[in-house]
Structure 1
Amino acid sequence: MLLALLLTYAGFTALCLSMPRHHAELLGAKPSTRRRQGLALAGWLLLALSLWAAVAASGWSFGLVDWFAVLMLSALALVLLLPYRPRLAMALAGLSLLASPVAAWAQC
């Protein structure tokens, strides 16, 4: 479940950065078209990987329920952090990407 949480938070952050407004606020410049498409693709791939991680950990019946709970939790965390602590939101996304391999190894 930890792996799914880390991947969904990173995925939502990548999708957030694929929007020009959020990208400019967080990184200081408008993204190029190629960067926007790459961030959107990475975000959707991370969300798909989080679904796989949740289903692998708990099976299809409970895995989907866990995945939806993790989706809501990570989206809520990102929405609450962006207006007040945007740098912390970015740091947590980077940290979640770095911690994902450790969580994947621990899940096996």
Structure 2
Amino acid sequence: MLLALLLCYAGFSALCLSMDRHHGELLHRKPSPRRRLVLRLGGWLLLLVSIWPAVHLAGWSRGLVEWCAVLMLSALLLVLLLPYRPRLALILAGAGLLASPVAAFAVF
């Protein structure tokens, strides 16, 4: 489930960065239309890919329920971090992307 959590958090962070307000707060500039599109597509792709480890480990019935729980947990973590520690939210997303290959090897 760690891999699903890391991918969900990174996906929500990318979707968050695709918005002008959050991109400006975190990176101190407005995103270009191309960057906004890449972040939006990347975020949705990460959220879709995050279903795979949950279903792979627990099967379709229990895996989808656990994936929904991980989805809500990662969204809650991002929503709680953004107002108080926005830089930490960005650092956690980057660290999660870097740690996800290690978590992927733990799945097998």
TM-score range, shorter chain: over 0.9
How is 1:85-96 mapped onto 2 (pairs within 5 angstroms)? 85-96=85-96
Unaligned runs of 5+ in 2: none
Equivalent residue number for residue 97 of structure 2? 97
How is 1:10-49 mapped onto 2 (pairs within 5 angstroms)? 10-49=10-49
TM-score normalised by the chain length of structure 2: 0.99
Unaligned runs of 5+ in 1: none
Equivalent residue number for residue 70 of structure 1? 70
CA RMSD in angstroms, aligned pairs only: 0.5
CA distance in 2, matches of 1:99, 1:63: 21
TM-score normalised by the chain length of structure 1: 0.99
CA distance in 2, matches of 1:45, 1:11: 7
Equivalent residue number for residue 8 of structure 1? 8
- 2:83 maps to a residue whose letter is P
Q: Percent identity?
A: 73
Size of the aligned set, in residue pairs, is 108
- 1:50 maps to a residue whose letter is S
Q: After TM superposition, which residue ranges in structure 1, 4 or more long, deviate above 6 angstroms?
A: none
